[in-house]
């Protein structure tokens, strides 16, 4: 993909199963605290699959795509202290300033210096186009707050996954297992394909005595078993029996009866964490049972920048092999043909010069 003078190639969403590489202006530094990054590896977020195939409807207005980014710094402003041109870095998918009250307390998904829900590759969420990972370059507006150097022992695909989904899976079990060391963990897998599998890895690494993974997909079940979980084929239906109760549960199903089963399987005073809001309004939530048992249900977007350092350290030390969740590697140039493939986790890698 040749770059014209002052322009670059950007992978652009036009509609379900409809993407194009468009020529757009190369981003420029706008102040002394910014940086430019050349993406080298971009993993497909679980959400991206459903935007790409039309399961999640977006408006017709085009936007840059891809938000799990690892790359190389190409330019920095005069006030940037933490990275230099040539550094390999993780670019957190959410935009955060690092200095507002929310950022300072670790609530980096709710930075007040930018429009709510600001992120790469998801312009329709915030109403502002921040660019996308499947591009030649991205502008990082708060370089010192956002960018994280990648250790030599961590691959670019793994680093890209840590920018969102791997960190999301980690946070579902990290705090609950600090409160309940060695607890059994139930992960109700499904449409948040890779997040559920990353949660399996994190639970194993963080000392869960037993990890049970439910799903209706044979390939993901095989992956979960290979990652050390007890994998159980499960169809999420009304009145699904609860065989065991767990102090730590995760709903990665993104399905109504999967959520109900996760909540019903949470032991008294336990914690259930949901990783998506696909179930927006529904009857049948076991609220009275939750109240009587005193369980906590957490549902939130991940605070990506606040989680990255811990997850990256697990990757650096070899405690978690995130690469084992990545199923497919394809060049950027094949993104249009493969973006809607049903694989658990795809990584797009920058095409090598011919």
Helix, coil or strand: residue 251:
strand
Residue 5: pLDDT band with limits 50, 70, 90:
very low
The HSE-up count of residue 327 (CA atoms within 13 Å, CB side) is 19
Burial class of residue 338, CB neighbours in 10 A (0-12, 13-18, 19+)? middle
CA distance readout (Å), 59 to 4, 43, 63, 307:
29, 23, 10, 31
Helix, coil or strand: residue 96:
coil
Residue 278: pLDDT band with limits 50, 70, 90:
low
The percent of residues above 70 in pLDDT, for the chain, comes to: 96
Q: How far apart are CA 81 and CA 1, in angstroms?
A: 32
Q: What is the mean pLDDT of residues 188-207?
A: 98
Give 92-150 pLDDT, tens digit per residue: 999 999 999 999 999 999 999 999 999 999 999 999 999 999 999 999 999 999 999 99
* Residue 218 near residue 188, CB atoms below 8 Å: no
Q: Specify the pairing of strand 68-76 against strand 63-64.
A: unpaired
Residue 126 main-chain phi, psi, to 5 deg: -100, -15
Model confidence at 74: pLDDT above 70: yes
Give 35-62 pLDDT, tens digit per residue: 999 999 999 999 999 999 999 989 878 9
More confident residue, 61 or 273: 273
Model confidence at 346: pLDDT above 50: yes
Model confidence at 325: pLDDT above 60: yes
* Residue 31 near residue 129, CB atoms below 8 Å: no
Q: Which CATH superfamily is domain 168-299 in?
A: NAD(P)-binding Rossmann-like Domain (3.40.50.720)
Q: What is the mean pLDDT of residues 313-333?
A: 97
Q: How far apart are CA 202 and CA 92, in angstroms?
A: 19
**What pLDDT score does 4 carry?**
38
Longest dimension (CA), the chain: 65
Cβ-based neighbour number of residue 233 at 10 Å: 10
**What pLDDT score does 59 carry?**
86
Residue 280: pLDDT band with limits 50, 70, 90:
low
Model confidence at 319: pLDDT above 70: yes
Q: Specify the pairing of strand 185-188 against strand 148-149.
A: unpaired
Q: What is the mean pLDDT of residues 143-163?
A: 98
* Residue 261 near residue 188, CB atoms below 8 Å: yes
Q: Specify the pairing of strand 88-91 against strand 148-149.
A: antiparallel
Burial class of residue 158, CB neighbours in 10 A (0-12, 13-18, 19+)? buried
Cβ-based neighbour number of residue 96 at 10 Å: 27
Model confidence at 2: pLDDT above 60: no
Domain ranges for the chain, please list them. 7-164+303-349, 168-299
Q: How far apart are CA 185 and CA 202, in angstroms?
A: 11
- In sequence order, which residues have a C-beta less than 8 Å from that of residue 31 and are 6 or more positions away? 77
**What pLDDT score does 62 carry?**
96
Which CATH class name applies to 7-164+303-349? alpha beta
Residue 80: pLDDT band with limits 50, 70, 90:
very high
* Residue 262 near residue 239, CB atoms below 8 Å: no
pTM: 0.95
């Amino acid at each position: 993909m040749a770059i014209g003078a002052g322009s670059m190639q950007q992978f652009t969403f036009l509609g379900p199963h409809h993407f194009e590489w468009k020529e757009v202006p190369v981003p420029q530094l706008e102040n002394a605290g910014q940086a430019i990054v050349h993406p080298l590896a971009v993993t497909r977020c679980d959400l991206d699959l459903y935007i790409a195939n039309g399961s999640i409807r977006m408006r017709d207005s085009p936007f840059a795509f891809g938000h799990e980014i690892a790359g190389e710094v190409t330019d920095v402003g005069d006030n940037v202290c933490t990275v230099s041109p040539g550094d390999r870095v993780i670019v957190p998918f959410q935009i955060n300033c690092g200095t507002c009250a929310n950022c300072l307390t670790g609530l980096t998904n709710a930075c007040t210096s930018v429009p709510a829900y600001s992120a790469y590759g998801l312009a329709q969420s915030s109403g502002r186009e921040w660019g996308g990972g499947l591009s030649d370059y991205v502008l990082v507006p708060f370089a010192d707050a956002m960018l994280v150097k990648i250790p030599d022992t961590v691959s670019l695909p793994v680093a890209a996954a840590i920018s969102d989904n791997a960190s999301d899976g980690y946070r579902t079990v990290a705090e609950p297992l600090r409160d309940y060391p060695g607890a059994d963990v139930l992960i109700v897998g499904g449409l948040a394909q890779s997040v559920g599998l990353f949660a399996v890895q994190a639970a194993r690494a963080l000392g869960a005595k037993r990890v049970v993974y439910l799903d209706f997909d044979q390939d993901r079940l095989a992956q979960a078993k290979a990652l050390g979980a007890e994998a159980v084929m499960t169809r999420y239906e009304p009145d699904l029996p609860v065989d065991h109760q767990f102090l730590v549960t995760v709903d990665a199903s993104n399905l109504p009866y999967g959520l109900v089963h996760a909540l019903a399987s949470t032991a008294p005073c336990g914690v259930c964490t949901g990783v998506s809001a696909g179930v927006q309004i529904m009857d049948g939530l076991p609220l009275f049972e939750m109240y009587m048992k005193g369980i906590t249900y957490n549902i939130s977007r991940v605070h990506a920048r606040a989680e990255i350092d811990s997850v990256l350290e697990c990757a650096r030390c070899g405690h978690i092999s995130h690469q084992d969740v990545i199923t497919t590697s394809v060049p950027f140039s094949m993104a249009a043909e493969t973006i809607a493939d049903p694989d658990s986790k795809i990584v797009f890698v920058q095409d090598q010069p011919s």
